[in-house]
Amino acid sequence: MSATKLISTTPGNYSLLLNAGTTAVDELVEQLGHEPNGYFWEGVARRLVADGAAELEGRFAYDPEAGMFCAYGTDRAALEALGKLLDAIAADGDEMRALITAADAEGFDFDD
Q: What is the pLDDT of residues 59-78, one digit of tens each?
A: 999 999 999 999 999 999 99
Instruction: Report helix angle 93-105 to 76-90, nearest 10.
Output: 100
Q: Flag whether 112 is in a domain.
A: no
How many residues does this entry show for the chain? Answer: 112
Q: Flag whether 83 is in a domain.
A: yes
Q: Flag whether 74 is in a domain.
A: yes
Do the Cβ atoms of 22 and 3 come closer than 8 Å?
yes
Residue 98 belongs to domain spanning: 4-105
What is the domain-level CATH number for residue 85?
3.30.1370
Q: Flag whether 110 is in a domain.
A: no
pLDDT at residue 1 is higher than 90:
no
pLDDT at 37: 97
Number of domains present in the structure of the chain: 1
Q: Flag whether 40 is in a domain.
A: yes
pLDDT at residue 29 is higher than 70:
yes
Average pLDDT, the chain: 96
Q: Flag whether 111 is in a domain.
A: no
Do the Cβ atoms of 42 and 34 come closer than 8 Å?
no
Distance CA 33, CA 101 (A): 11
pLDDT at residue 96 is higher than 70:
yes
